[in-house]
């Protein structure tokens, strides 16, 4: 992979955040949290994770939390140290975990930071009673988080054939792998235009994406590389906003391309990446196929790719 040489030498602090949790969480029944037991549970979980970290099995890293930022009561982001020697391609995911009741519990999380960053960042939902996120949402700076050593994933530039315009279609925390890719200089070496669509139920859930793009614009090095190639197209489905509607409806009705002022989806020039819920993946994939595009994979690059790891 070719990276802008300057990116080898710099430290980027908390530019962004992102990750994803599997939707098919188990339905473990646990006591409701209140102010009294919340701290105790958090400390128990963290103590066990830190203890476990001292006798780590092969294949697991134990990393320190560097920052936590809560966006809404459903969304938060955190960053943690990047292990020496941990390599990943922008857009990939890793298994993130904590010790819960004596056992490590892991979920797939897209790495939201780009491959050149010093820190690892993640964007997470908070699921009440979610086996991992009910604990993970309480992490604080200095806590220990586990990560399995091998990242993987299909939302990588290598899985796409060369094209002119790259669409990244996301809903909810599905923006995370794209948070990584839109900060990777290689994305802009390979594509003339990068269109990030992000659809959420409510306006507050879009905030992470707005922060991310404004941080890119305010970053001297990145803004120079990104130039005017990146378009952020944010829509909301359950309250009034300047742009509204599901991305699938906006594609099917032609509104997306007319708003963007670009030609209809075309397999010769356009490439796509999709990340969201199972239904969103299925419906968006059908629209891209209708436009004549075919699905690719790491071992067979083509015109669009889907991240299936996160859905049930």
Give the DSSP H/E element, type plus range, for residue 233.
strand 230-236
Q: In the complex with ligand A2P, which residue's Cβ is closer, 192 or 279?
A: 279
Which of 280, 287, 293, 306 is in the footprint of ligand A2P by CB under 6 A?
280
Instruction: Give the 3-state secondary structure of residue 8.
Output: helix
Which of 42, 164, 246, 255 is in the footprint of ligand A2P by CB under 6 A?
246
Q: In the complex with ligand A2P, which residue's Cβ is closer, 14 or 237?
A: 237
Taking residues 163 to 202 in sequence order and writing x for each that binds ligand A2P by CB under 6 A, - otherwise, the string is --------xx--------------------------xxx-
Smallest Cα–Cα separation from 204: which of 176, 179, 236? 236
Burial of 44 (0-12, 13-18, 19+ CB in 10 A): middle
Q: Edge-to-edge strands of the sheet including 230-236?
A: 230-236, 193-200, 165-171, 270-275, 304-306
Find the part of the chain contacting ligand A2P (CB under 6 A) among 95-103, 159-167, 275-283, 287-295. Answer: 275-283
CB of 24 to ligand A2P, least distance (A): 13
CB of 201 to ligand A2P, least distance (A): 5
- Give the number of other CB atoms < 10 A from CB of residue 123: 30
Which of 132, 222, 247, 256 is in the footprint of ligand A2P by CB under 6 A?
247
Smallest Cα–Cα separation from 183: which of 230, 148, 137? 230
Q: Which residues bind ligand A2P (CB under 6 A)?
A: 171-172, 199-201, 237-238, 246-248, 277, 279-280, 283
């Amino acid at each position: 992979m070719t990276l802008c040489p300057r990116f080898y030498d710099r430290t980027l602090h908390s530019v962004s955040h992102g990750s994803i949790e599997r939707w098919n969480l188990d339905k473990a029944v646990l006591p409701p949290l209140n102010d009294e037991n919340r701290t105790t549970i958090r400390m128990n979980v963290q103590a066990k994770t830190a203890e476990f970290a001292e006798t780590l099995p092969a294949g697991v890293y134990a990393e320190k939390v560097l920052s936590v930022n809560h966006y809404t009561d459903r969304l938060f982001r955190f960053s943690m140290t990047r292990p020496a020697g941990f390599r990943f391609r922008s857009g990939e995911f890793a298994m993130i975990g904590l010790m819960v009741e004596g056992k490590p519990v892991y979920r797939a999380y897209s790495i939201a930071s780009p491959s050149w960053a010093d820190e690892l960042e993640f964007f997470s939902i908070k699921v009440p009673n979610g086996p991992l996120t009910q604990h993970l949402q309480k992490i604080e700076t200095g806590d220990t988080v586990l990560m399995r050593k091998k990242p993987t994933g299909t939302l990588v530039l290598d899985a796409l054939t060369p094209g002119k315009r790259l669409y990244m279609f996301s809903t909810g925390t599905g923006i995370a792998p794209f948070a990584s890719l839109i900060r990777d200089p290689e994305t802009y070496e390979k594509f003339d235009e990068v269109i990030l669509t992000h659809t959420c139920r409510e306006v507050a859930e879009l905030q992470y994406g707005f922060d991310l793009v404004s941080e890119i614009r305010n970053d001297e090095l990145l803004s120079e590389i990104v130039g005017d190639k990146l378009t952020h197209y944010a829509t909301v489905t359950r309250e009034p906003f300047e742009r509204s509607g599901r991305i699938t409806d906006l594609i099917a009705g032609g509104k997306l391309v007319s708003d963007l002022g670009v030609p209809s989806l075309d397999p010769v020039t356009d490439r796509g990446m999709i990340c969201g819920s199972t239904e969103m993946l299925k419906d968006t994939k059908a629209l891209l196929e209708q436009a004549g595009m075919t699905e690719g994979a790491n071992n067979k690059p083509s015109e669009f790719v889907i991240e299936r790891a996160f859905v049930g």
